[in-house]
Structure 1
Amino acid sequence: MTPRRELTVLVAADLISNLGSRVSVVAIPWLVLETTGSPAKMGAVAAAETLPYLLSSALGTPWADRIGLRRTSILADAGSAGLMVAVALTPWLGFGALVALVALVGALRGVGDRVKHVMFRPVAEAAGVRLIRLTAVYDGLGRLVTLLGATLGGLLVWRFGVTQAILIDAVSFAGCALLVGLLVRPSAPAAARPEGYLRALAGGFRYLHRDRMLLTMLLVVAALNMAVNASVAVYIPLWVADVLRGPAGLGLVLGAFSAGALLGNLLFTALGPRLPRYLTFVVGAAVGGAPRLLVLALGEELAVVLAVTFASGIGIAAVNPLLGVAIYERVPPELQTRVIGLAGSLAFAGLPVGALLGGWSATALGLGTALLAMAAFCLVVTLLPLLPALRPRAAPAPAGRGTRVGGRA
């Protein structure tokens, strides 16, 4: 198999797995609702998957380095497939078993997703594909999968029932394991000196702490994720209910952001290699965060809200690809597994925090004040990269090495 086909297979395998996961985001809560009738238990199951996912993304990567990236990916996806089959049987196993199984799936998915992302770099380099092209295309396809996955999940639950929908998710994990196992053979990364688990984990933390530019970019992405999830879970539904007096506009507002992000991704894929990376990241983050919150706080015209939300989606489309290429180019190959794991955990930490903070702030402050406060927070955080101390410079050398690794981000 040619290197380009190998890269295509690896990206496709990851996206198939993600599509199945989006189906389960719809199917598993519906299973809980059918079997328990409890909204509180629906939330508990969602949290049971999210927290292990975040923890394993950060804490499981030293073991992945020992086992091997490709082998870890195959084992994680094969294990997730088996566990999802067990989840489909949980009406007979009980709610406690469901929570435990979902937590295990989250833990396996966290480390499995991270190691596939680490494999992208050597496979792309072997294929002669520029990393900024890869991260841009992958981000766009990922957004498309997210957009389609929830719809597909709902259709599968409606057409085949919740059990069959969850089994389809299991098939997606199994397919991913087979594709990687049979068709992907990435070159081995630079070997790191054998070291204990805690020492290996601490090495990732030390590198990320020293690379202030990369750490700042991650904090910006975490803040944006927090604002986006607060908007999707709380702010936008409340604004639609208060201003439009009905649910009809909810899909329009959410769809405008997704459509803008897809268009922005197409534009960035074409123009990204010629744009100044760091400045583009700052502008994209600033456009993608505060404006869409401010227009909800200050406006009541649906057309204006849709236009600003669409523009915010265009801006945010540059953020994830530029963060991804910065990690690939700045972090030494022998540290990438653990640093990418820590980076993913930090970036995704904004999602559960955003939902909780959105609900609390809207209740305590009122919707308008909560939106203004979140917009001010986003504006401050997204402008942090302009501080002189946080502007681009060479990546720090790993501990014990005298050379600097990485390029301009």
Structure 2
Amino acid sequence: MTSYQNMPLYSVNIKIFLKLGLIGSGARTMRVLLGLVLILTYSGQLINFCKTWNEDIGESGMNFHVVALIMHSVVRFFVVLKKAKKFERFFQRTEQWFTDIEQNSDPGVVRMLQDVITHARKVTRIGFYTSIIGALCAYIYPFSFEERKFILDIDYFFFDAKQTPFYEFFFLLQALILVPVFIFVYLPFANFLLMSLKFGEVILMDLCTKLRNISNQDEATQLRELKECISYHEKIITFRNDLEYLVSIDGFFHIALFSLMLCMLLFFLSLVHDIRLILTALAFISFHIYIIGITYYYADNFSNESLKVAYAAYDTPWYEGNSELRKCVQVMIARSHRPLEIKSGGLYPMTLENFQAILRISYSYFSMLQGFNQQ
């Protein structure tokens, strides 16, 4: 049994990855099955979208959003699958770090870590309770129509998916496999990123505490403790680099698709009058704004916390030390002036400022579509 699967920081999310076979050495058959279901559904969605895009522009907007949502889930599935070893090493190092802070750090930092654990469990519960409600609505939604309808609209070239026995097969496939897989891939990945960012805040606070606790008794002790802090800071930078490597591709797709998805949902909302479709669109809009908003909020907090390291380094008794100690302080301050940002695709920093820019871009696209539609 892997030791990191019981780490309270990530709660049940690691266990889900292990059960699905996304990380770890076993469950190869499970990985292949889940991958086939996702690809089969996604290809059916694309075919359906291509066949129906010019029939109803409002419904085409909703179909585009659902296609993009499943595409994002497919991306997350294969990102974890391809980088499974990297994820495992990241979890192992985080677990060791987590244990070290619990046992050796300042009591204030340990209390902060316990608060993060409580927060992690709360976020995980909220996410899964919301997903259960969403799944129930998804199951009920097709039965609110008189004609046959899937949870996710699909079509194929060589047969009619809505004819017996294909309809029953694909409906059960979506209900029993696709919806649970979507929940158990999409949400644990989001929770992993959120909790990693919160843990990043804790280790930055731990570093600031270590810097402020540097003794002013003798130069040798000061220099040794300061060099330990510099090494600790390098470790935090590596943590940030590893985290960005794991989520960078997913973040790029999230940014690239989110503006279009939000735009299409708003456009769809302005065209339809069916209360079922309006509620569905509002639920999707709320879901996406919450997911990307809270992610960028946590990433922004992590980035802002990294800037406080420079102030903590300046507060050390460097003025009483020798030239080597002063150079070490200068190095620490210089490195800390550049914030530790998580970038989508290695290009686009996850900050609240950029989140606001994304919302503005989405509304601009929406206004442009409305203008074209009214002409």
Range class of TM-score, shorter chain: under 0.3
Query: Structure 1 length as normaliser, TM-score?
Result: 0.24
- Larger RCO: Structure 1 or Structure 2 (Cα < 8 Å, ≥ 6 residues apart)? 1
Query: Structure 2 length as normaliser, TM-score?
Result: 0.26
Whichever of the two has the greater Rg, that structure is 2
